[in-house]
Amino acid sequence: MFVLPPNMNEGRRMKAEDGSKETIGRARRPNDVLRRLIGIVLALALACAWEAAVFAAEPILEQITGKAPLVVMEQIARLEGPIGDPMAQPSDVVVTSSGVVWVLDGVHMRLARFAADGRFERYVHLEGLPLDDHRLPVGLGIDKMGRLLVGDRQRGTIKLLRSDGSLDLTIPIPCEPSEQPADPTDVLPSASGQTLLVADNDNHCVKEIDLTGRLIRRLGRRGSGVGEMNYPATIALAAGGEIVATDVLNSRVDVFARAGQPLQAVGSRGVVAGKFYRPKGVAVDRVGRLHVTDSLSGIVQTFHLDGRLIGVWGTPSDQPYRLRSPATIWADGSERFYVVEMLANCVTVWRERPRR
């Protein structure tokens, strides 16, 4: 599976269902460059097909937003790579406590760093990740010390990077003999800060592991029932330690208590407000609301943690926003939201506007 908008984070078997220049590490061989160029061409071709599918669904998508309450948002910034060397389908974003923004540009096997004021600073090429266009890294996290966490989907590990992007530690993700190789599509520190939570896409669960790779616990298994998942993509933490995961092929968001028991499912498959096509990104803001991106419909919806719909992101003139394959979303705690728009090759920055 190539990591593309229709099946990003959904595992290799998903196909049947969805039809600066700073370099750290070894130099790239000519064959590596050629493979990378071929991968980019394939990515762009399939991205065009994805856009066509979204356009064809437009009449149906009007049902989602036509009568929905709106959460009024305004775009305040757009983060892009330099002219001549743009990002290609970025997949994740994190923001440090000082406001520095890191974006995972997995197609190019690199991270983009932006200053707190939105200026592009540099690219940092990832060290220690294999060059495999079929299992590109898509998940990015950050710990309390500012170290970056990248999911290595080819080797089933987490790369812990120093604040300058250099490799610090490789953490294996444990798997049972009956499981598929680990497919980490998102990672973040647990509520304690001592362990990591990993979305293991191909094994349909969230795993909590320590920094040696020891399994602490596993949340979920494959299925559609309460506490079950079908290709989880991204995860977030609520203020009470609740673990929130987008459950892509079940078209919902699963909420687990800090102790691990399932609490509720937010949303379901459908074409009305409060439901999803392909939920991908989730963030919890400082007042405990969930903000969920839908990569197929292009909308962002806001919910209470208990699942009640608050509204759809929209303009001051009461028109819903339609983003270009929004993947992940980050809430920075200061009323700013960072949304990765894969097909726009950028990260857009938003803030909420009070209604007058």
Complete domains list, the chain, with CATH: 12-352 (2.120.10.30)
For residue 61, the one-letter residue type is L
- pLDDT of 113: 97
- pLDDT of 318: 84
Q: How far apart are CA 87 and CA 110, in angstroms?
A: 9
Structure tokens belonging to residue 313? 């992101």
- pLDDT of 110: 93
111 pairs with which residues across the strands? 104, 124
For residue 28, the one-letter residue type is R
Torsion angle (degrees, nearest 10) of CA 29, 31, 37, 39: -110
Bridge-based pairing state of the strands 346-352 and 262-266: unpaired
Bridge-based pairing state of the strands 309-314 and 70-79: parallel
- pLDDT of 271: 77
Structure tokens belonging to residue 306? 């208990």
- pLDDT of 66: 58
Q: How far apart are CA 10 and CA 43, in angstroms?
A: 16
Q: How far apart are CA 225 and CA 215, in angstroms?
A: 24
Q: Which residues of the chain have pLDDT under 70?
A: 1-67, 127-134, 355-356
- pLDDT of 23: 33
- pLDDT of 135: 76
Q: How far apart are CA 347 and CA 101, in angstroms?
A: 10
- pLDDT of 342: 96
